[in-house]
A and B are shown apart, each in its own frame.
Chain A
Amino acid sequence: DAKTTQPPSMDCAEGRAANLPCNHSTISGNEYVYWYRQIHSQGPQYIIHGLKNNETNEMASLIITEDRKSSTLILPHATLRDTAVYYCIVRVNFGNEKLTFGTGTRLTIIP
């Protein structure tokens, strides 16, 4: 079973920041938070991951709370191409650890 909870759907206006929340209240100390997105019928696309510090790359920012029980993925200037299902996943970074996907958040960018 997925160890994360996400809202099933969200809307965001084009050009605005999209903030996608994720709850992972049972996360262990050695588990990372990963975000992937899946545009309709394509393979999931890796976005970003982090352990406890906030992270930023060319696609997004990841804000992890101090207690690590929740996080927020931020897309700073959403475009129509950001419409997708976004998955928040927690996993350790060793061994044969698989990705356990939940149902994700369906983000719709509104023109």
Chain B
Amino acid sequence: ETGVTQSPTHLIKTRGQQVTLRCSSQSGHNTVSWYQQALGQGPQFIFQYYREEENGRGNFPPRFSGLQFPNYSSELNVNALELDDSALYLCASSLGRGGDTQYFGPGTRLTVL
């Protein structure tokens, strides 16, 4: 059984740029949730995808967008990067429409300069 993987591990961008983060869900899982974790804080929910459709969204602006592909992998896109977007970005996969246990990947550390 393959766990949740994320790429890249680390990323450095400058303010105003755009970034794409990737997540491969655990084998057999069809739901992916994305979280942002600022330094010293708990993860904050960004949005969730179930079978390629958005299935819930947290309090994040529209410049945070996502996709889920037929193989249930997912992308998180952030446009017009701001300094406060510097954080650990986590994805979690689960089976079913969001109600099952979520299993997290190792995260992508994004630094915006």
CB-based contact A102/B107 at 8 Å:
no
B2 CB-CB contact with A under 8 Å:
no
* CB neighbours of B43 from chain A (8 A): 44, 99, 101
**Is there a chain B Cβ closer than 8 Å to A28's Cβ?**
no
Instruction: List the interface of chain B (C-beta within 8 A of A).
Output: 4, 6, 33, 35, 41-45, 48, 50, 55-56, 58, 88, 90, 92, 97-107, 109
Of the listed residues A92, A93, A98, A100, the one surrounded by the most CB atoms of chain B closer than 10 A to its CB is A98
CB pair A42 B58 closer than 8 Å = no
Q: Nearest-CB distance from A86 to chain B (Å)? A: 11
Verify if A111 is at the interface (C-beta below 8 Å from B): no
Report yes or no: A43 in contact with B4, Cβ–Cβ below 8 A: yes
Q: Shortest distance in angstroms between B53's beta carbon and chain A's nearest beta carbon?
A: 11
Known: A98-B58, A101-B44, A103-B41. 19 other contacts (CB 8 A): A34-B101, A36-B104, A41-B107, A41-B109, A43-B4, A43-B104, A44-B90, A45-B104, A46-B101, A46-B102, A94-B98, A95-B99, A96-B50, A96-B55, A97-B98, A98-B45, A99-B92, A101-B35, A101-B43
Cross-chain pair count, CB within 8 angstroms: 66
Is B33 within 8 A of A42, CB to CB?
Answer: no
B106 to chain A, nearest CB (A): 5
Write the chain A residue with the least CB distance to B39.
Answer: A41
Query: Within A44-81, which residues are at the interface with B (CB < 8 Å)?
Result: 44-46, 49
State the A residues within 8 Å of B (CB). 2, 34, 36, 41-46, 49, 87, 92-104
**In angstroms, how far is the closest chain A Cβ from the Cβ of B41?**
7
Select which of A41, A46, A94, A102 is within 8 A of B103 by beta carbon. Answer: A46
**Chain B residues near A43 (CB-CB < 8 A):** 4, 6, 90, 92, 104-107
Q: Interface on chain A toward B: helix, strand, loop, or mixed SS?
A: loop
Contact status A93-B102, CB under 8 Å: no
Which residues of chain A are within 8 angstroms of B101 by Cβ–Cβ distance? 34, 46, 49
